[in-house]
């Protein structure tokens, strides 16, 4: 057996860029991209990517050079997912467009890109970021402007290159694109974490990991051929949870919208018969808050959610709109999806609330992971499958990152002493059926009188109250118990509009009927909206800082009664209006 060698014919390094040349051959005349009135076929997308790869190489871009891009979802950003690695093995770094100039500068300083592509609406942010790094770098990146392909603004001047000019001038004869890789362990992209618990870290993906994760997700989400995929998820978030490459693998149509407003989403669903889309739980509020659209008839849209724990009542509400939700759990360090709540037919017979409760669990390991477990952090023994004993989620497999860029310490910490597992920093339980449920991030667990309280569990209960739009629970200092839960709650605007008053005491009583007493929030603080970071995750660090100033007197929990006012939502504003 061992004498049978690997050959070019039977051993091809895995890379997601190979999906593109196959799409150009197999699905040549099918629509690849729809963006406003601009459409491309897979033949055209392939040609454009090859030309861009050639143009990048003519600018001396080569293996391991970082090419950054600051752009909302656009055809250019989509094409760069193939064209950049095809440029001799360069590495794509898609930057979060919700960062300010200082945040972008931090990434540029760390990633040291050779080129920076900037969408026409983000030129100010990019130039401010570049100004602030000019003193600390001897080789600032070359700026390339991406004008709107559908409706060019002509914003570019001769000072800068422009994306379409680059595509047009790419000469594939003199700089042939590299459509395969020599080593599947080579880097394909560099993505920064959301910075929810600390500063964003630069995560390096391998071609092999990206390929496997893409295939695994398509399988577990059940994406058949010819999907019409709506880009409601930013492509900068873990390369669109690998679906940038995945849609090419299925010969699907990418319906690209710059911003996921309710109007853009519902209009695209109606106009293009969207079959699939991704949505962090925060986007569900946008879908639910658009009453004009709710009654419209359309086919079922498959929605993959993840990025934060989706409370069961929210899942139930969004499914009533005609969306069929699949829940996945993931992280930047694992090239996106780590677990999927694979649906079992036997659960169809359950009531909608029970179905949603089951669906809110994070599920079973991704098919392309080698293993996932929940372990006792001290003994490293697997926790029992009892749905109660908490432990840290650990994973291993080829889609786990190569490591953090230029950060050996953080890399070593994440992989542990023996490098056998990647430690996710998330706490979960395993149910008797083998499904994992994430209870919290390690840093967010509330320890009250020696008991661990899952903030996610308390939040899920609060979401069950009909007046609650959003809830987040964090630790608050307690003179006797050390820590105790403090809830921050935003009420649904329609409750305030209808003049209905919900008291903090009422929410506390609501929780009392649904959980052990030590888990019940001792304070409820009303906010217009929960503070979120650039990927839509609740910034619990900020809430903990607020809660620190709200030290509780043990007796207060039964006496106080304060109205929680549901004012109309204002973006990002925190009004610490009411408390118990």
Ligand X SMILES: Nc1ncnc2c1ncn2[C@@H]1O[C@H](COP(=O)(O)OP(=O)(O)OP(=O)(O)O)[C@@H](O)[C@H]1O
By the rule CB under 6 A, 306 interacts with ligand X: yes
When the beta carbons of 16 and 307 are compared against ligand X, the nearer one is: 307
Say which DSSP state 363 is in: B
By the rule CB under 6 A, 27 interacts with ligand X: no
Binding to ligand X in span 33-52, by CB under 6 A: none
* DSSP state letter for 26: H
The Cα-based distances of 104 to 111, 125, 148 in angstroms read: 10, 8, 21
Distance between CA atoms of 270 and 277, rounded to whole angstroms? Answer: 13
CA 434 to chain centre: 25
Angle between the 455-463 and 312-319 helix axes, to the nearest 10 degrees? Answer: 40
Under the criterion CB under 6 A, does residue 278 sit at the interface with ligand X? no
Q: Which two tokens stand for residue 181?
A: 């890789």
Which of 85, 89, 330, 391 is close enough to bind ligand X by CB under 6 A? 330
By the rule CB under 6 A, 391 interacts with ligand X:
no
Q: Is 368 in the site for ligand X (CB under 6 A)?
A: no
Kindly determine how many residues on this chain lie close enough to bind ligand X according to the rule CB under 6 A: 24
Can you give the C-alpha Rg of the chain in angstroms? 24
Q: How far is the CB of 461 from ligand X (least distance, A)?
A: 16
Out of 62, 127, 137, 198, the residue judged to bind ligand X by CB under 6 A: 198
Q: In whole angstroms, what is the distance from residue 186 CA to residue 191 CA?
A: 15
Residue holding tokens 């008797």? 432
Residues 407-446 that bind ligand X (CB under 6 A): 424-426, 438, 441
534 binds ligand X (CB under 6 A): no
Q: Which of 18, 242, 244, 332 binds ligand X (CB under 6 A)?
A: 332
Which pair of structure tokens corresponds to residue 187? 């880097």
Looking at beta carbons only, is 88 or 200 nearer to ligand X?
A: 200
Q: How far is the CB of 475 from ligand X (least distance, A)?
A: 16
Q: Which region, judged by CB under 6 A, interacts with ligand X, from 145-153, 159-167, 191-199, 291-299? A: 191-199
Under 8 Å between Cβ of 230 and 247: no
Q: Is 17 helix (H, G, I), strand (E, B) or coil?
A: coil
Of 308, 340, 369, 489, which lies in the binding site for ligand X, with binding defined by CB under 6 A?
308
Interface residue with ligand X among 89, 177, 200, 536 (CB under 6 A) is 200
Render 518-576 in DSSP notation, one character per residue. GGS-SEEEE-SS--B-TTS-B-HHHHHHHHHT-PPPTTHHHH---EE--PPP-TT----
311 near ligand X (CB under 6 A):
no
> Nearer to ligand X by C-beta: 45 or 362?
362
End-to-end CA distance of the chain: 72
Distance of alpha carbon 287 from alpha carbon 261, whole angstroms: 9
Answer yes or no whether residue 209 interacts with ligand X by CB under 6 A: no
- Applying CB under 6 A, which part among 6-14, 153-161, 258-266, 326-334 lies near ligand X? 326-334
- Per CB under 6 A, does 362 bind ligand X? yes
Q: Are 428 and 437 in contact (CB under 8 A)?
A: yes
170: contact with ligand X by CB under 6 A: no
The answer to the question of residue 454 lying near ligand X (CB under 6 A) is: no
Shortest CB 425 distance to ligand X, Å? 6
Q: Would you list the DSSP string of 315-326?
A: HHHHHTTTEEEE
Find the binder of ligand X among 35, 211, 284, 329 (CB under 6 A): 329
239 binds ligand X (CB under 6 A): no
Nearer to ligand X (CB atom), residue 19 or residue 192: 192
Q: Annotate each residue in 509-528 with x if it binds ligand X (CB under 6 A) or - if it does not, as one string.
A: --------------------
Burial class of residue 455 in the structure, from the number of CB atoms within 10 Å of its CB (0-12 exposed, 13-18 middle, 19+ buried): buried
Q: Point out which residues bind ligand X (CB under 6 A).
A: 193-198, 200-201, 306-309, 329-332, 362, 424-426, 438, 441, 535, 537
């Amino acid at each position: 057996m061992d004498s049978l060698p690997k050959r070019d014919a039977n051993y091809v390094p895995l890379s997601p860029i190979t999906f593109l040349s196959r799409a150009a051959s197999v699905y040549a005349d099918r629509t690849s991209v729809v963006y406003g009135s601009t459409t491309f076929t897979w033949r055209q997308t392939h040609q454009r990517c090859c030309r861009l790869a050639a143009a990048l190489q003519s600018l001396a871009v080569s293996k391991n050079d970082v090419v950054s891009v600051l752009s909302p979802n656009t055809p250019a950003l989509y094409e760069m997912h193939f064209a950049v690695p095809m440029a001799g093995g360069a590495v794509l770094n898609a930057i979060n467009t919700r960062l300010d100039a200082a945040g972008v500068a931090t990434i540029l300083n760390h990633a040291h890109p050779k080129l920076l592509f900037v969408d026409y609406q983000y030129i100010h942010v990019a130039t401010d970021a570049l100004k602030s790094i000019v003193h600390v770098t001897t080789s600032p990146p070359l700026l390339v402007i991406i004008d709107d392909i559908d409706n060019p603004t002509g914003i570019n001047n001769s000072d800068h290159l422009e994306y379409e000019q680059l595509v047009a001038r790419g000469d594939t004869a003199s700089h042939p694109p590299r459509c395969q890789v020599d080593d599947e362990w080579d880097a394909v992209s560099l993505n920064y974490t959301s910075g929810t618990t600390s500063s964003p870290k630069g995560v390096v993906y391998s071609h092999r990991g990206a390929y496997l994760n893409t295939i695994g997700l398509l399988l577990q989400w059940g994406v058949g051929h010819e999907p019409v995929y709506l880009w409601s998820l930013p492509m900068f978030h873990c390369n669109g949870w690998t679906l940038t490459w995945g849609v090419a693998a299925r010969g699907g149509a990418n319906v690209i919208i710059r911003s996921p407003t309710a109007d853009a989403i519902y209009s695209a669903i109606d106009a293009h018969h969207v079959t699939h889309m991704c949505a962090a739980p925060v986007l569900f509020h946008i879908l639910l808050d658009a009453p004009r659209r709710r009654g419209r008839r359309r086919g079922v849209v498959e929605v993959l959610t993840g990025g934060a724990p989706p409370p069961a009542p929210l899942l139930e509400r969004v499914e009533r709109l005609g969306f069929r939700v699949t829940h996945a759990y993931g992280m930047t360090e694992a090239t996106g999806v780590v677990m999927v709540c694979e649906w079992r037919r036997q659960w169809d017979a359950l009531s909608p609330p029970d179905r949603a409760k089951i669906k809110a669990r994070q599920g079973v390991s991704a098919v392309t992971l080698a293993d996932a477990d929940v372990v006792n952090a001290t003994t490293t023994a697997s926790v029992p499958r009892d749905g109660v004993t908490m432990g840290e989620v650990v994973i291993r497999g080829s889609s786990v990152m190569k490591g953090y860029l230029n950060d050996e310490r953080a890399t070593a910490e994440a992989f542990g002493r023996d490098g056998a597992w990647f430690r996710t920093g998330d706490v979960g339980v395993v149910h008797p059926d083998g499904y994992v449920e994430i209870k919290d991030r390690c840093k967010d667990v509330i320890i009250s009188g020696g008991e661990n309280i899952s903030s996610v569990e308390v939040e899920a209960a609060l979401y069950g109250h009909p007046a609650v739009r959003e809830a987040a629970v964090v630790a608050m200092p307690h003179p006797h118990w050390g820590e105790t839960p403090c809830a921050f709650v935003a009420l649904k605007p329609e409750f305030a509009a209808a003049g209905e008053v919900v008291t903090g005491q009422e929410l506390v009583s609501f929780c009392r009927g649904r959980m052990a007493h030590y888990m019940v929030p001792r304070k409820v603080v009303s906010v217009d909206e929960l503070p979120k970071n650039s990927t839509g995750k609740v910034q619990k660090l900020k809430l903990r800082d607020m809660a620190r100033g709200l030290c509780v007197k043990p007796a207060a929990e039964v006496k106080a009664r304060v109205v929680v006012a549901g004012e109309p939502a204002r973006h990002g504003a925190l009004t610490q209006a009411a408390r118990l």
